[in-house]
Amino acid sequence: MTLRYLTAGESHGPALVGILEGLPAGVPVDLDAIAHQLERRRAGHGRSPRMKFEADEFQVLAGVRHGLTIGSPVALVIHNTEWPKWTEAMAVEAPEDPEAVAQTGRGRPLTRPRPGHADLVGMQKYGYDEVRNVLERASARETATRVGLAAVARGLLDQLGISVLSHVVRIGEVAVPEDAPPPGPGEQERVDDDPVRCAEGATSERMQERIDRAKGERDTLGGVVEVVAYGVPVGLGSHVHWDRKLDGRLAQALMSIQAFKGVEVGEGFRTAEVPGSKAHDEIVASEGDYRRLTSRSGGLEGGITTGEPLRVRAAMKPLSSLTQPLRTVDVETGEEAQAITQRSDVCAVPRAGVVAEAIVALELADALLEKTGGDSLDEVRRNLEAFLGSLPRAAEPSANARAAEPSADDRAAERPADDRAAERPADDPA
């Protein structure tokens, strides 16, 4: 791994902390850009009250001077607005009167673990008799740090012409049409302006209605987000070892986001339903380069980027904190009980898309630096340009060969009518 990051901090502790190691010197760092990414993470229809007052005030403590990285680790701290209310319940030093703290609202033991959360398994693994020490770290509040660190790493991607964006494609049973194309480069602001960050207007309205209904039913909803990266060069990742395949690295990183339970690259799950003739991206020579006619592989083949836009989807389950809690067991008494309730979103999918976007950006930056090496941005740029310049140009077929070769339309015409009707257009990016 070339680019490494580490996060620390609890949901109601004094702050969240992150360290990003491996960025070359000379990468621009824009504090406004970091603040913007943190703000995007707090947005979305169905958010909890905490998102309205958690300001995500942050500081860059190290690794940056005069707006540029200096090659050393970048340190970031995000202060928790609510910390003054939790100074006793989350104090580092042992309280003088533990019983008095335990009698306060925030300090009382939480002994009714939530189904679907890390509560019970965390207690069992670490030997706790209540869930506070587990839920504080397992909380999705931690993702603010990763979004902040990714905003720094995106400075590198921006300099090399790589853009990463996300949008919501499903909330509950409401999904965008299968043939709807993803938003293109430069369309992230348009997506963010939508209350559920959906690029398809009619579907967005139905998603919002579904969230409102779930709120009235005191329930929660999950969904699916898609991350698309444009300008990704060919050759990132590798086919030679399992842990260097970029699709595997992306899947692991995305699955590390709280409540995420599934990942597909391109049309991963759909390709399992169709024959091979409809599962792969045909290759053509175009202006001295190779390109794919479709995007079923999501821009990754054999664990290596193809140079086409990268597309990956991730599924998020409904949140486990419900205002109408599920059945559990009180670990103190052994009796049946209702799970604890914590302040929670009805649907966190819109803002989870921003987190997924950040994770993909971090993994792409890592894979890029693994490919190029370099201690400075100029060196990284030179190395990338040298690699891309060394790629052999695609040989254009001769005029006779082009005339003899059947066209895509001709090949389609030879297939049964039912088969042709079921196939997507060759230029459909979805």
Annotated binding-site members? 41, 47, 137-139, 258-259, 302, 317-321, 343
CA within 13 Å, CB half, 430: 12
State whether residue 41 is helix, strand or coil: helix
The Cα angle at residue 80 between residues 75 and 82, in degrees rounded to 5: 170
Q: Report the C-alpha gap between 347 and 210 in whole angstroms.
A: 10
| Binding-site entries for NADP(+) | 41, 47
Q: Report the C-alpha gap between 145 and 136 in whole angstroms.
A: 14
Residue pair 91/106 in contact by the 8 Å Cβ criterion:
no
| Binding-site entries for FMN | 137-139, 258-259, 302, 317-321, 343
Residue pair 285/395 in contact by the 8 Å Cβ criterion:
yes
Residue pair 26/378 in contact by the 8 Å Cβ criterion:
yes
Q: List C-alpha distances in Å: 42 to 38, 222, 256.
A: 7, 17, 19
Q: List C-alpha distances in Å: 376 to 231, 233, 362.
A: 21, 19, 18
Residue pair 318/220 in contact by the 8 Å Cβ criterion:
yes
Residue pair 43/349 in contact by the 8 Å Cβ criterion:
no
Q: Report the C-alpha gap between 385 and 160 in whole angstroms.
A: 10
* Residue (of 326, 325, 314) closest to 257 by Cα position: 314
Q: Report the C-alpha gap between 142 and 126 in whole angstroms.
A: 19
Q: Report the C-alpha gap between 171 and 350 in whole angstroms.
A: 9
